[in-house]
Amino acid sequence: MSDGPLHLAVALDGAGWHPAAWRSHDAVPGALFTAAYWTRLVTEAERGLLDFVTLEDALGPQSAAPHRPDDRTDQVRGRLDAVLLAAHLAPLTTHIGLVPTVNVTHTEPFHVAVGIATLDHASRGRAGLRPQIAPRAADAGHFGRRTTPQLTDDDVRDPELIAERLRPLFAEATDVVEVARRLWDSWEDDAEIRDTATGRFLDGAKLHHIDFEGAYFSVKGPSITPRPPQGQPLVASLAHASTPYEFAARGSDVVLVTPRDRAGTEAILAQVDEAVDRVGRDERARPLRRFAELVVFLDDEPGAAIRRKERLDDLDGATYTSDALIFTGGSGELADLLLDWRAAGLDGFRLRPGAVPHDLTAITRRLVPELRRRNAFRTAYGTGTLRTRLGLPHPRNRYARPC
């Protein structure tokens, strides 16, 4: 657990995480696919001094079911490419981290590595990667090269069963992250000379073939992009069960977990610790930050948040449920919850606004000041990269010779 201020991130997805959020009175559904819309959201998150934002993505339209497409036309469908969107946001922001979701089941690891390295250069050290497997068999049809397991309704009711069915995809994703990390190291930090007088642009001895040979990929390297400013951009992964916990323990810098209460937080963190031990990770050298997830409907007027969620439930025709705890209440109550759970061993939280802009601005303009009053949140960003802000070291380049 971090001894410094609480870390806060927000997960941005369309009009918000409630499927009827686009019908909220202050929603702007006509702007969902515009750059200006996302710029407003991310600059608001930066106004609140949040650590980073994540941008959701997928290989198919959203669905009410996590494992198969649906035919609904009364919910938001479609989204912008998360990496390209983050690249647009990079020069329009100054401090906040930008962590796009990237599907790694059907995307070549070389492309993953180059895209995120480019984002880190464009943002001057604020990029991250949220690797995500493709749990829907229908997504494979967009590529025509392979098939993936078709989950059943019974599978999705049990996170451990899902993880077991998808274990090969997690194994493949582990290799994707490892390849990306090796490619980020394939240029040493000082490989570029750029000396016009001598005509030497780079030192060829400081570019390295990674020569990765695995069960799923054979990647020669080096990357086409110089080493990112962070050395290794932040890798954050969402995990609900033992296999994803191991995936996070092997290759992530941040694991995002979904407890329901303080006791659940302690139990999940114990499972994460066990996964760290199983894979042999040395957390002194490679710390793993632990963030919990909550869906947030935030109003300081008593009862307003629950009434607002119920109205959206009525519009959608179903009670909204989530893999994460759904919080409905005021900023003081939420601050109490966050600080209580944090004492169980968390470093921070990724909050999912139920509806934007309402719940995003409630986080930045009500929750953040409340946490500051309790000396639990920063008053300024300070300097350094996203890794620095999270207390993560600048990684040593695995290919560089010791001085």
235 conformational bin, left if phi > 0, alpha if psi -120 to 50, beta if neither: beta
Q: What is the per-residue pLDDT across 301-357, written as a single tens digit (0 to 9) for each?
A: 999 999 999 999 999 999 999 999 999 999 999 999 999 999 999 999 999 999 999
Residue 348 belongs to some domain of the structure: yes
CA angle 207, 210, 214 (to 5 degrees): 170
The whole-chain average pLDDT of the chain stands at 95
Residue 239 and residue 255 in contact, taking contact as beta carbons nearer than 8 Å: yes
Paired strand residues for 328: 297
In a domain, 330, yes or no: yes
Domain ranges, residue 96: 7-300+318-389
CATH number for the domain harbouring residue 218: 3.20.20.30
pLDDT at 1 over 70: no
Please check whether residue 110 lies inside any domain of the structure. Answer: yes
> Where is average pLDDT lowest: 55-69, 113-127, 233-247, 333-347?
55-69
Upstream peptide bond of 357 is cis (omega within 30 degrees of 0):
yes
- Residues 400 and 366: their CA atoms lie apart, in Å, by 47
Q: How many domains does the chain have?
A: 1
For residue 13, say whether it is annotated as part of any ligand binding site. Answer: no
Confidence class for position 2, pLDDT limits 50, 70, 90: very low
CA atoms within 13 A on the CB side of 33: 7
- Does some domain include residue 292? yes
191 within a domain of the structure (yes/no): yes
What is the per-residue pLDDT for 156? Answer: 82
Tell me if 163 is assigned to some domain.
yes
pLDDT in tens, 28-82: 999 999 999 999 999 999 999 999 999 999 999 999 888 889 989 999 999 999 9
C-beta of residue 126 within 8 angstroms of C-beta of residue 96? yes
What does each C-alpha distance from 141 to 106, 108, 110, 148, 226 come to in angstroms?
A: 10, 16, 22, 10, 34
pTM of the model: 0.96
Using alpha carbons only, give the angle 115, 119, 122 rounded to the nearest 5 degrees: 140
Instruction: Find the mean pLDDT for residues 269-276.
Output: 98
Domain membership flag for residue 241: yes
> Does 394 map to a domain?
no
Query: Is 57 among the annotated ligand-binding positions?
Result: yes
